[in-house]
Amino acid sequence: MNLAMQAHSPPQAAVRLLLAHVGALDGKMIRLTLDRHAHDDTVVVEDASLADVFVIDLDRPGADAAIAQADARHCVVVPYSFRPDSYTDRVRGTRVLHKPLDAETFISALRGVGSKLRATAGRVTRAPRDEAMLGSQMPGEAERDVCGTADDLPAQPGSPVPPATYFDPAHYLLGHLHEACRLALGERRHSRITGLPGVLDIVPGSVPLVWTTVRDPHLRPLSMVQIPRDSAIGIAPADPAPPRDGQFSLTAESLLWKTALWACRGRLPADADPWRPVRMVGWPDFTRTYSTPHAYRIVALWTRDTLSPVEIARRLGIPQRYAFAVYSAARHAGLFDDSVVQPMSAPSTPNAGGRLSMLTRLLKKLRHGD
Position 176 scores a pLDDT of 92
Does 203 share its domain with 264?
A: yes
Number of domains in the chain: 2
DSSP assignment, residue 120? H
Assign residue 96 the CATH number of its domain.
3.40.50.2300
Q: Going by C-beta distance under 8 Å and a sequence separation of 6 or more, which residues neighbour residue 224?
A: 145, 172, 262, 263, 265
Q: Going by C-beta distance under 8 Å and a sequence separation of 6 or more, which residues neighbour residue 323?
A: 298, 309, 310, 312, 313, 316
Range of 323's domain?
A: 140-336
Query: What are the tens digits of pLDDT across the range 262-310?
Result: 999 999 999 999 999 999 988 887 777 778 888 888 999 999 899 999 9
The answer to whether residue 332 sits within a structural domain is: yes
The DSSP secondary structure of 258-310, one letter per residue, reads HHHHHHHTT-EETT--TTS-B-B-SB--TTTS---TTHHHHHHHHTTS-B-HH
Strand order, beta sheet including 234-237: 234-237, 191-194, 200-203, 209-212, 248-251
Position with higher pLDDT, 231 vs 181: 181
Does 23 share its domain with 107?
A: yes
Contact yes or no for 17/50 (Cβ under 8 A): no
Position 285 scores a pLDDT of 79
Rounded to the nearest 10 degrees, what angle do helices 173-187 and 252-264 cross at? 160
Instruction: Give 331's pLDDT tier (boundaries 50, 70, 90).
Output: very high
CA distance 10 to 324: 22
Does 171 share its domain with 259?
A: yes
- pTM for this entry: 0.58
Average pLDDT over residues 349-355: 32
> Taking 90 as the threshold, does the pLDDT of residue 233 lie above it?
no
Does 204 share its domain with 57?
A: no
Query: What are the tens digits of pLDDT across the range 153-205?
Result: 998 888 888 999 999 999 999 999 999 998 888 888 899 999 988 889 999 88
> Taking 80 as the threshold, does the pLDDT of residue 35 lie above it?
no
Q: List C-alpha distances in Å: 43 to 21, 205, 208.
A: 17, 24, 21
Query: What are the tens digits of pLDDT across the range 65-111?
Result: 888 888 777 788 888 988 888 776 666 667 888 888 888 888 888 88
